[in-house]
Copies of this chain bind each other. A is one copy, B any other.
Amino acid sequence: MSLDRIRLASLHDKVISAEQAAEFVQDGMTVGMSGFTRAGEAKAVPLALVARAKTNPLKIDLITGASLGNDLDKQLTEAGVLARRMPFQVDNTLRKAINQGQVMFIDQHLSETVEQMRNNTLKRPDIAIVEAVAITEDSLIIPTTSVGNSASFVEYADKVIIEINTTVSTEFEGLHDIYIPEARPTRGPVPLTHVEQRIGTKGIQLDPAKVVGIVFNDTLLDSPSNVTDPDDETQAIADHLIAFFENEVAQGRLPKNLAPLQAGIGSIANAVLTGFKHSNFEDLVMYSEVLQDCTFELIDAGKMKFASGCSMTLSEKCGDRVFGNLAHYKDKFILRPQEISNFPELVRRLGIIGINTALEFDIYGNVNSTHVCGTKMMNGIGGSGDFARNAHLAIFVTKSIAKGGDISSIVPMAAHVDHNEHDVDILVTEQGLADLRGLAPRERARAIIDNCVHPMYRNALNDYFERACAKGGHTPHLLREALSWHANFEEHGHMLTPAQQESAQPA
Contacts and interface: CB of A to CB of B under 8 A. Distances in A.
Interface in A416-455: 416-418, 420-423, 425, 437-440, 442-443
Contact of A487 (B116, B194, B252, B479): B479
Interface string A333-357: 0000000000011001111000000
B476 A375 contact: yes
A413 B375 CA distance: 11
Nearest to A343: B348
Contacts of A56: none
A375 B473 contact: yes
Given A351-B185, A385-B422, A106 B475 contact: no
A109 interface: yes
A503 interface: no
Given A107-B421, A416-B475, A477-B375, A119 B351 contact: yes
Nearest to A252: B120
A271 interface: no
Contact of A490 (B108, B187, B479, B486): B479
Contacts of A189: 189-191, 193, 345, 349
A479 B486 contact: yes
A375 B474 contact: yes
A443 B422 CA distance: 28
A376 B479 CA distance: 12
Interface string A147-162: 0000000000000000
Contacts of A373: 479
Interface string A90-101: 000000001111
A366 B381 CA distance: 15
Given A109-B422, A345-B345, A417-B420, A122 B437 contact: yes
A121 interface: yes
A116, A344, A375, A477: residue with the most chain B Cβ atoms closer than 10 Å: A375
Contacts of A377: 473-475
B191 A105 contact: no
A253 interface: yes
A417 B99 contact: no
Given A351-B185, A390-B344, A392-B184, A381 B422 contact: yes
A353 to B, nearest CB: 11
Contacts of A116: 437-438
The 10 closest A-B pairs by CB, nearest first: A375-B473, A189-B189, A377-B474, A184-B351, A417-B417, A104-B440, A345-B345, A479-B487, A479-B483, A120-B253
